[in-house]
Amino acid sequence: MSKEYVVAVVGATGAVGEEMMKTLEKNKFPVKELIPLASKRSEGKTVLFKGKKIPVKVLNEDSFKGIDIALFSAGGSISKQYAPFAIEEGTIVIDNTSAFRYEKDIPLVVPEVNAEDIKQHKGIIANPNCSTIQMVVALAPIHREFTIKRILVSTYQSVSGAGRKAIFSLQNEAKQHLNHEEVEQGSLSHQIAFNLIPHIDVFMDNGYTKEEMKMDWETKKILHSDDIAVSATCVRVPVFRAHSEAVNVETEKPITAAKVKELLSKAPLVVLQDDPHENLYPMPIKAENKNEVFVGRIRQDESIKNGINMWVVSDNLLKGAAFNAVQIAEKLIEFKLV
């Protein structure tokens, strides 16, 4: 019989936590026991796993005794506070927040790109930002073949990336607008229904948002290249689920759209959807609840010598969060690290 593991999900009642449990079940991860953990606000609630209702336990310093793997998705401050207690108990932490992503000795992993980095972990493995994950899945094969010099990316990020409150905000604001009622602004910085907000995370001293800088910092770390120049503009759009990205890359070596299509047609987890004459291209409504990264609109950038434009779409709650985290857990087993 293959070994089974005790797995905790921290933030089990949140949007990503729910997707983590669904993914563990769907992937048939060898779970001996699931421990759903959340704040005191969730005391008395249950979660559904493999057809059984499991009571949610209140997260505390003693929550990790006997736990092999803990998937964290309850906010960076919670990860900072409780991950050390998990490590003390010998639990391997896979953290979906930004709490540890930029620490030099903590691996930041997208399994299709840099799975080997998992072997360097010292108790914590960080899950990258959702917008970064889908982009590097599409760009890693190009970087290996042609060496990327520069990336320009504009993101169109769904409200689910800002949590349940933002989902409810879009629902309520849209209803009010369509009913010709006064729109009560929800949880975001402005009304999101029938609007675009070029503001995700906090603004920094350089004029960029932290979300935009995450794409710079994380791409370099995951691709092991500090030489890549990255410039991002991140926009919240009135879409419930799945992020979209317009990506432009400039490479050192000569590159063609035909060669990029050939590479991506064979790339792990990438689905090529690129037939403009048949109106075939990735769209968020078609990417919902799917694990893959969808790529299309691949074309030569006629303004520079070695440039390519593309359109990249993926479900931010799955490949951008829960699915990537479970893949890391699967790699821990594959590498015999747990």
Q: Which residues contact 35 (CB under 8 A, 6 or more apart)?
A: 6, 7, 8, 9, 57, 63, 67
CA dihedral 238, 321, 14, 125 (to 10 degrees): -150
pLDDT at 1 exceeding the cut of 50? no
pLDDT of residue 177: 97
Token pair recorded at residue 282: 């990735």
- Nearest to residue 142, comparing CAs of 284, 26, 322, 301? 301
Residue 130 annotated in active site: yes
The catalytic position among 143, 180, 243, 277 is 243
Question: Of 121, 130, 143, 234, which residue is the catalytic one?
Answer: 130
Using DSSP bridges, classify how beta strands 52-55 and 46-49 pair: parallel, antiparallel or unpaired: antiparallel
Where helices occur in 158-317 by DSSP H, the ranges are 164-178, 210-222, 257-265, 284-287
Type of residue numbered 238: P
What is the spatial distance between Cα 102 and Cα 191, in angstroms, rounded to a whole number? 32
Q: Give the DSSP letter of residue 191.
A: -
Q: Domain ranges in the chain?
A: 5-128+321-334, 132-316
For the structural domain made of 5-128+321-334, what CATH number should be given?
Answer: 3.40.50.720
DSSP 8-class letter at 25: H
User: Mind listing the pLDDT tens digit for each residue in 234-280?
Assistant: 999 999 999 999 999 999 999 999 999 999 999 999 999 999 999 99
pLDDT per residue over 4-32, tens digit each? Answer: 999 999 999 999 999 999 999 999 999 99
Residue range 163-202, pLDDT digits in tens: 999 999 999 999 999 999 999 999 999 999 999 999 999 9
Fold classification of 132-316 (topology level):
Dihydrodipicolinate Reductase; domain 2 (3.30.360)
Give counts: helices (H), strands (E), the chain. 9, 14
**Catalytic annotation on 143?**
no
What is residue 43's predicted lDDT score, i.e. its pLDDT?
87
Q: Which residues contact 58 (CB under 8 A, 6 or more apart)?
A: 37, 38, 39, 40, 42, 43
